[in-house]
């Protein structure tokens, strides 16, 4: 066994893909192969709440729903894959708010552990590969309200940033036409100064939630540290803001819903990737998401991402076995 710990995160499609066209016996056997190989390589699988929620959301319509079987088996696989047998809890990565709270302020909300266990208990219902989970309306209500809230908060934050930047640009360049102003906005969003200001804003929001007061210089000092430790925390937002402008994406439309959900996972993951390593080891993202791969490549982190077939190959596992 290697001494270096590696954390691995699967996206939603990777879990759906790995369980496709497999029965419960085949799923159980594949899981055992993966867990054995991961243990040998000192790899710790961690789920994200976004993936748990996305898979669950596809179960609401029942067996007649699109992707029901793959999402159900995907949740079963995830629950077992990421289950910590010592702590008796599913390993679920925190949302960015908690990441910043712990890293930059050394503090977490009082009910953090309670909330963590609550999420785990919801998804532990899917541990059996054979038994149908006994799902109540409470579960679906939790899935819908939680996913809707995070998706809405995320969309609104992006809309707010664009609206604020547009207003400022109109004040500075009132005579520019629409196309020229858009180019200026994109240049502005790509700038180092904007990346720094995004980090400062994030820190101020979290500090306010925690009831912590700091002077402006301290916020700026911590923002430099945050960007150094988590380079994608700002880079992802910069990229997505430019994407919205360049492609005229309406963040409130039904058409953009799938994209917004994908970006939610990207957003959460962007706060988990560091130039150093998570848990004093390294981390791997298992995804075929072109946008995430592009962002990672642009930031010199392309070695951190593998597609599901590449990951299985890395573990020396033949998925057809």
Q: What is the pLDDT of residues 12-21, one digit of tens each?
A: 999 999 999 9
- Cα–Cα distance measured from residue 252 to residue 151, given in angstroms and rounded to the nearest whole number: 11
pLDDT at res. 194: 94
pLDDT at res. 113: 55
- Cα–Cα distance measured from residue 9 to residue 179, given in angstroms and rounded to the nearest whole number: 39
Assigned token pair, 73: 């088996």
Beta-carbon contacts of 2 under 8 Å, excluding residues fewer than 6 positions away, are 41, 42
Q: Are 197 and 178 in contact (CB under 8 A)?
A: no
**Domain for residue 320, yes or no?**
no
**Domain for residue 321, yes or no?**
no
pLDDT at res. 2: 60
Higher pLDDT: 136 or 247? It is: 247
pLDDT at res. 125: 84
pLDDT at res. 110: 55
pLDDT at res. 94: 74
Stated length of the chain:
321
Assigned token pair, 225: 């540290």
Beta-carbon contacts of 196 under 8 Å, excluding residues fewer than 6 positions away, are 220, 223, 224, 227, 234
What is the H or E stretch that residue 284 is in?
A: strand 282-286
Assigned token pair, 126: 């899917």
Look up the domain containing 17 and give its range: 6-314
Give the pLDDT band (50/70/90) at residue 319. low
Higher pLDDT: 53 or 138? It is: 53
Mean pLDDT along residues 271-291 = 71
pLDDT at res. 46: 93
Higher pLDDT: 278 or 205? It is: 205
Number of structural domains (the chain) is 1
Find where tokens 């990421």 sit: 82
**Domain for residue 319, yes or no?**
no
Count Cβ neighbours within 10 Å for each residue of 55-93 and write b for 16 or more, e otherwise.
Answer: bbbbbeeeeeeeeeebbbbbbbbbbbbbbeeeeebbbbb
Q: What is the pLDDT of residues 91-131, one digit of tens each?
A: 988 777 777 888 888 876 655 555 667 777 788 888 888 88
Phi, psi of 7 (to 5 degrees): -100, 135
pLDDT at res. 245: 92
**What average pLDDT does the structure give for the chain?**
85
**Domain for residue 108, yes or no?**
yes
- Cα–Cα distance measured from residue 94 to residue 140, given in angstroms and rounded to the nearest whole number: 21
How much of the chain, in percent, has pLDDT values that exceed 90?
36
Q: What is the pLDDT of residues 65-90, one digit of tens each?
A: 778 889 999 999 999 999 998 988 89
- Please state whether beta strands 83-84 and 89-90 pair in parallel, antiparallel, or not at all (unpaired): antiparallel
Q: Using alpha carbons only, give the angle 91, 264, 119 rounded to the nearest 5 degrees.
A: 30
- Cα–Cα distance measured from residue 246 to residue 259, given in angstroms and rounded to the nearest whole number: 15
Q: Is 9 helix (H, G, I), strand (E, B) or coil?
A: strand
């Amino acid at each position: 066994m290697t001494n270096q710990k590696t954390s691995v995160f699967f996206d939603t499609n990777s879990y759906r893909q790995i369980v496709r066209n497999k029965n419960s016996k085949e799923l159980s056997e594949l899981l055992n192969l993966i867990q054995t190989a991961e243990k040998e390589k000192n790899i710790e699988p961690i789920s994200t709440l976004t993936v748990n929620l996305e898979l669950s959301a596809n179960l609401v319509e029942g067996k007649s729903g699109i992707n029901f079987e793959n999402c159900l088996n995907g949740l079963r696989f995830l629950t077992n894959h990421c289950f910590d047998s010592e702590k008796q809890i599913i390993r679920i990565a925190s949302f960015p708010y908690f990441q910043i709270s712990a890293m930059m302020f050394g503090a977490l909300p009082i009910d953090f552990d309670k909330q963590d266990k609550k999420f785990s208990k919801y998804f532990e219902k899917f541990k059996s590969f054979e038994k149908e989970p006994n799902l109540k309306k409470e579960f679906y209500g939790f899935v819908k309200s939680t996913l809707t809230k995070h998706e809405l908060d995320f969309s609104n934050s992006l809309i707010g940033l664009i609206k604020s930047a547009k207003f400022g640009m109109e004040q500075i360049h009132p005579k520019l036409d629409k196309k020229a102003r858009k180019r200026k906005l994109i240049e502005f969003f790509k700038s180092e100064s904007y990346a720094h200001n995004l980090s400062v804003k994030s820190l101020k929001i979290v500090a306010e939630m925690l009831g912590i007061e700091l002077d402006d210089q301290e916020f700026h000092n911590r923002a430099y540290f945050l960007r150094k430790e988590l380079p994608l925390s700002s880079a992802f937002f910069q990229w997505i803001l430019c994407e919205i402008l360049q492609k005229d994406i309406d963040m409130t439309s039904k058409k953009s819903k799938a994209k917004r959900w994908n970006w939610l996972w990207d957003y959460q993951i962007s706060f988990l990737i560091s130039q150093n390593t998570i848990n004093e080891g390294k981390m791997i993202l298992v995804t075929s998401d072109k946008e995430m791969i592009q962002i990672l490549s642009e930031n010199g982190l392309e070695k951190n991402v593998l597609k599901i077939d590449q990951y299985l190959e890395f573990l020396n596992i033949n998925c057809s076995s």
